Amino acid sequence: MWIVPEAAIDGLLSPDDAFAAVEQVFAAMARTEAYNFPVVREGLGEGRQYGFKSGLDRAGGQLGVKAGGYFPGNAARGLINHQSTVFLFDPDTGVVQAAVGGNLLTALRTAAASAVSIAHLARRDARVLGMIGAGHQSAFQMRAAARQRDFDRVVGWNLHPEMLPRLADTAADLGLPFEAVSLDALGAQADVIISITSSDAPSLMDAHVRPGTHIACMGTDTVGKQELDPRVLARAAVFTDEVAQAVTLGECQHAVAQGLLAERDITPLGAVIDGAHPGRGSDDAITVFDGTGVGLQDIAVAARAVELARAKGLAVEVAL
Ligand code: NAD
């Protein structure tokens, strides 16, 4: 089997590599050629969370699992709190093929998912990118989004303003002007909004969102988290990576529970990628992508990482 250590991932996979891998597997999911298995997530006590995201991609010939979670005590030990590893198996024999560091890959695949949604759902003439959230994921999100439209500036809001320099620095790196704004101003100016927070109550309210906006709602990946006013979902065209996850642990969980959105009205983004669904209906439509994060995304980028690491001599082969 091959081992691709976490340290080898940095600089190995470009945002374009991650985009291509995620776009392909979303399309395979919509054709039911790829399946995610039910997510396992367990509390270990003292705030520690551990779980598995897994799936089978018949089209891509991949079977795998991401194991990992959130370990809040890590920071004091000089480790990052989110820890994960992706294991790949031969889908015909079950023989393990690779173990791949999953921490940076998670950020790349999550950013790729919202970038794929922007590529397929945002208005072509989108010029202003709005960022809600300024945590670890936000910089990856902004970098990947900037490749999809000809944005000329970024506006951002974060509950904790001391974190905003991360957005300003990332925008500067991309050569884009950045302005910290209120949520009112963000909604009034942004053509594309990425929301990536760990909030458990909505930040972006119905009155903030104007026609024509595309919202990539990326932070809600657990029961109880929430970023968006459910009334936005009621008047938007709603897309997701995986409908079963969207209605249980994604942003859609709240609108569905309140009877504002029906499961049948949520479209897999893969159907748009495949051309089976037209996506955005008009320039005035509001589109929402509920990115819940699926195991097949992890498996797709991990498989690409193994290919690239082997080609560059960065993968270590060990006998089973
Ligand atoms: P982080 O801890 O680095 O940052 C957290 C962010 O949330 C900060 O911007 C913080 O100011 C904000 N925040 C915290 N409490 C808030 C509240 N009550 N209201 C509004 N904002 C609040 O986290 P991160 O690594 O950037 O991850 C952000 C979120 O994205 C988390 O919820 C994480 O679980 C989720 N995530 C989702 C996926 C996916 O595939 N959908 C993948 C990775 C992470």
Residue range 195-241, pLDDT digits in tens: 999 999 999 999 999 999 999 999 999 899 999 999 999 999 999 99
3-state secondary structure 19-80: HHHHHHHHHHHHCCCEEECCCEEEEEECCEEEEEEEEEECCCCEEEEEEEEECHHHHHHCCC
What is each CA distance from 81 to 105, 181, 233, in whole angstroms?
15, 29, 31
Distance from residue 220's CA to the centre of ligand 1 (Å): 8
Nearest to 238 by CA among 207, 215, 208: 215
List pLDDT tens digits, range 127-144: 999 999 999 999 999 999
Phi, psi of 184 (to 5 degrees): -60, -50
- Residue owning the nearest CA to atom 40 of ligand 1: 293
Residue 145's H or E segment, with its range, is helix 136-146
Per-residue pLDDT at 80 = 86
197, 217, 221, best to mutate for ligand 1 pocket (most atoms within 8 Å of CB): 197
C-alpha atoms less than 13 angstroms from C-alpha of 58 in its C-beta half-sphere: 7
CATH of domain 2-106+296-317: 3.30.1780.10
The residues lining ligand 1, judged by C-beta closer than 6 Å to any ligand atom, are 106, 110, 133-138, 158-160, 163, 196-199, 203, 218-219, 221, 225, 291-293
Mean pLDDT score, 19-36: 97
Per-residue pLDDT at 174 = 98
Q: Are 249 and 223 in contact (CB under 8 A)?
A: yes
Distance from residue 199's CA to the centre of ligand 1 (Å): 7
Domain ranges of the chain: 2-106+296-317, 123-293
Ligand 1 atom index nearest CA of 70: 34
List pLDDT tens digits, range 39-86: 999 999 999 999 999 999 999 999 999 999 999 889 899 988 899 999
Residue positions annotated with a catalytic role: 66
Phi, psi of 8 (to 5 degrees): -85, -10
Give the pairing type, strands 82-89 and 62-70.
antiparallel
- Among the CATH numbers 3.10.110.10, 1.10.579.10, 3.40.50.1110, 3.40.50.720, which is that of 123-293? 3.40.50.720
Per-residue pLDDT at 75 = 84
3-state secondary structure 76-103: HHCCCCEEEEEEEECCCCCCEEEEEECH
Taking 90 as the threshold, does the pLDDT of residue 320 lie above it? no
Residue type, 72: P
The pTM (predicted TM-score) of the whole model is 0.97
Mean pLDDT score, 255-283: 97
